[in-house]
């Protein structure tokens, strides 16, 4: 073995230590980076050339160290679990947050919600039944009617607004999905090129994994890694990303659903199913909870309108007007007090006979609508129905919050496990740096000594 070989061995030691230091430095710099997996160098001893195995002792010594690979430490199984669990968590969070908004909107139990307004309205008619001749009492009853109608209008508009906001959310989330899918496709291409040339594009793969995490959280996508290093992403069984191509999604108004957005594949116009994730949660809230609440409030308003109008039309005003409706409109959006009555309180029906100003029976009949079984197929009063609606909302919200909390804990646990495998520990990296530093110093000594030996050989032997 020649001294130059030892020199070379020393140099490989230097380069290996350098690589180790660079890797440790890279890990330390990215200790807080989202989605970063720690990297580790694979060192391999360089074996002696085959011809060196000549059977002579001292000949089969290796030629130093080679950094064969820089691997990222990551558990793909945990990644898959995390994405699945997080998708559900995002779904529950989206739904829970929408339900909490719904609760705040209705503001029950309280003194200003629909329940209190209904009570005030019927009480005004009870007052009226005791003093039907009083213009003040008539005006008060009409005004309470207007307050109630306005309350219904407001709740309806707020609900529709919330539905619209959720819809806008869906559209923007779909745009994010498209953007992420495109980026993944681009990364697939870059990673493939890098791998073909033998390199290990760890940071690109980290970026891609981060995007895959995000995408799963948005839409519950499933990703599988292909033998050529690219990742295929499927959404509800359909391919979203394959190799360098991303299939785009788009949203179109759905006439069968009040022109709210429907998600379809842009290329084929076929409907896209989103199994979980934030989009699924938002859609569930938009088409389920909020739509149901709108339906319930409308049913409440429409039954109130018909029952009160029936009782009112059968009665007589002070001016003997009869057959007039009290409310105009058909649902919570359109309910309003008949403008004829607003302009002429004398026409408000209070009596059940003509020409009897002291007769307040029609007003009593209107007040009794409060206890009439006119909801749920004749089994519930207006108050019962509204109370049940609110209680059901409370139960649904409670459930969603519990689901979210439990899922949060699950996600955290799996993320912890991921972090345990892939996370950077600064203590560990500092230790590695120390190791690399000593190795570098030692290798430098080897080079120095080899150099000194060469110098002795060349410059100090056989010199006369």
For 89-133, give the DSSP string.
Answer: HHHHHHHHHHHHHHHHHHT-SSSSSHHHHHHHHHHHHHHHHH-TT
User: Please, are residues 48 and 37 in contact by the beta-carbon 8 Å criterion?
Assistant: no
Q: For residue 163, give both structure tokens.
A: 């539905």
Residue 321 CB, shortest distance to another protein, in Å, is: 16
State the residue for tokens 């660079």: 22
Residue 398 CB, shortest distance to another protein, in Å, is: 4
Residue 215 CB, shortest distance to another protein, in Å, is: 21
Given the complex with another protein, which of 18 and 401 has the nearer CB atom?
A: 401
Given the complex with another protein, which of 64 and 281 has the nearer CB atom?
A: 281
Maximal CA-CA distance, the chain: 149
Residue 427 CB, shortest distance to another protein, in Å, is: 4
**Which has the closest alpha carbon to 354: 323, 308, 326, 328?**
323
Given the complex with another protein, which of 173 and 214 has the nearer CB atom?
A: 214
Given the complex with another protein, which of 38 and 214 has the nearer CB atom?
A: 38
Given the complex with another protein, which of 108 and 213 has the nearer CB atom?
A: 108
Residue 107 CB, shortest distance to another protein, in Å, is: 9
Residue 165 CB, shortest distance to another protein, in Å, is: 20
Given the complex with another protein, which of 266 and 431 has the nearer CB atom?
A: 431
Residue 168 CB, shortest distance to another protein, in Å, is: 25
Kindly report the three-state secondary structure assignment for every residue of 219-265.
HCCEEEECCCCCEEEEECCEEEEECCEECCEEEEEEHHHCCEEEEEE
Residue 294 CB, shortest distance to another protein, in Å, is: 17
Residue 122 CB, shortest distance to another protein, in Å, is: 8
Residue 308 CB, shortest distance to another protein, in Å, is: 17
What is the separation, in whole angstroms, between the first and last Cα of the chain?
27
User: Please, are residues 330 and 98 in contact by the beta-carbon 8 Å criterion?
Assistant: no
Given the complex with another protein, which of 44 and 431 has the nearer CB atom?
A: 431
User: Please, are residues 30 and 36 in contact by the beta-carbon 8 Å criterion?
Assistant: yes
Given the complex with another protein, which of 124 and 177 has the nearer CB atom?
A: 124
**Which has the closest alpha carbon to 370: 315, 322, 303, 323?**
303
Cβ within 8 Å of residue 76, ≥6 positions away: 225
Residue 376 CB, shortest distance to another protein, in Å, is: 15
Q: For residue 284, give both structure tokens.
A: 């569930």
The DSSP letter of residue 329 is: S
Residue 365 CB, shortest distance to another protein, in Å, is: 10
Report phi then psi at 262, rounded to 5. Answer: -115, 140
Neighbour-count burial of 327, counting CB atoms closer than 10 A to its CB (0-12 exposed, 13-18 middle, 19+ buried): buried
Given the complex with another protein, which of 133 and 448 has the nearer CB atom?
A: 133
Given the complex with another protein, which of 235 and 293 has the nearer CB atom?
A: 293
Given the complex with another protein, which of 33 and 179 has the nearer CB atom?
A: 33
Given the complex with another protein, which of 229 and 423 has the nearer CB atom?
A: 423
Neighbour-count burial of 263, counting CB atoms closer than 10 A to its CB (0-12 exposed, 13-18 middle, 19+ buried): buried
Cβ within 8 Å of residue 209, ≥6 positions away: 35, 37, 74, 79
| Residue 194 C-beta-side C-alpha neighbours within 13 Å | 15
Q: Which residues bind another protein (CB under 8 A)?
A: 31-32, 38, 99-100, 103-104, 108-109, 115-116, 119-120, 123, 126-127, 129-131, 133-134, 351, 353, 355-361, 364, 367-368, 383, 386-388, 390-395, 397-398, 401, 412, 415-417, 419-427, 430-431, 434
Q: Which helix (H) or strand (E) holds 136?
A: helix 135-196
Q: How far is Cα of residue 115 from the mean position of the Cα atoms in its chain? A: 33
Q: Which helix (H) or strand (E) holds 167?
A: helix 135-196
């Amino acid at each position: 073995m020649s001294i130059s070989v030892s020199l070379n061995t020393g140099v490989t030691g230097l380069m290996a230590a350098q690589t180790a230091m660079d890797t440790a430095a890279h890990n330390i710099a990215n200790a807080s980076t989202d989605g970063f997996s720690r990297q580790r160098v694979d060192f391999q001893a360089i074996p002696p050339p085959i011809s060196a195995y000549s059977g002579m002792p001292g000949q089969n010594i290796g030629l130093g160290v080679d950094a064969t690979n820089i691997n990222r430490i990551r558990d793909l199984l945990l990644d898959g679990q995390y994405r699945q669990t997080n998708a559900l968590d995002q779904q529950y969070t989206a739904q829970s947050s929408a339900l909490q908004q719904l609760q705040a909107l209705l503001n029950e139990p309280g003194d200003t919600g629909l329940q209190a307004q209904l009570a005030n309205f019927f009480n005004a008619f009870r007052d009226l039944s005791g003093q039907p001749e009083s213009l003040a009492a008539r005006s008060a009853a009409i005004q309470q009617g207007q307050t109630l109608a306005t309350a219904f209008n407001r709740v309806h508009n707020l609900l529709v607004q919330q539905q619209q906001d959720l819809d806008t959310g869906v559209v923007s989330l779909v745009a994010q999905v498209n953007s992420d899918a495109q980026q993944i496709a681009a990364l697939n291409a870059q990673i493939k090129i890098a791998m073909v040339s033998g390199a290990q594009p760890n940071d690109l793969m980290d970026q891609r994994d981060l995007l895959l995490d995000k995408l799963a959280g948005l839409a519950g996508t499933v990703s599988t890694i292909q033998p050529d290093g690219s990742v295929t992403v499927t959404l509800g069984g359909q391919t979203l990303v394959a190799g360098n191509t991303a299939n785009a999604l788009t949203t179109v108004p759905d006439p069968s659903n009040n022109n709210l957005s429907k998600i379809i594949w842009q290329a084929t116009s076929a409907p896209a199913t989103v199994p979980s994730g934030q989009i699924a949660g938002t859609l569930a809230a938009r088409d389920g909870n909020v739509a149901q609440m709108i339906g319930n409030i409308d049913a409440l308003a429409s039954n109130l309108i018909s029952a009160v109008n029936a009782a009112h039309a059968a009665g007589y005003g002070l001016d003997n007007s009869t057959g007039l409706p009290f409310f105009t409109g058909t649902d919570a959006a359109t309910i309003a007090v008949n403008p004829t009555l607003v302009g002429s309180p004398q026409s408000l029906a209070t009596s059940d006979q003509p020409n009897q100003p002291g007769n307040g029976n029609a007003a009593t009949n209107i007040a009794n609508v409060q206890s009439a079984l006119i909801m749920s197929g004749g089994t519930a009063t207006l108050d019962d129905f509204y109370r049940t609606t609110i209680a059901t909302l409370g139960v649904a919200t409670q459930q969603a919050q519990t689901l979210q909390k439990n899922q949060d804990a699950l996600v955290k646990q799996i993320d912890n496990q991921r972090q345990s495998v892939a996370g950077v520990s600064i203590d560990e990296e500092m230790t590695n740096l120390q190791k690399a530093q000593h190795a570098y110093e030692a290798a430098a000594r080897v080079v120095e000594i080899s150099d000194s030996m060469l110098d002795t050989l060349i410059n100090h032997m056989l010199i006369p």
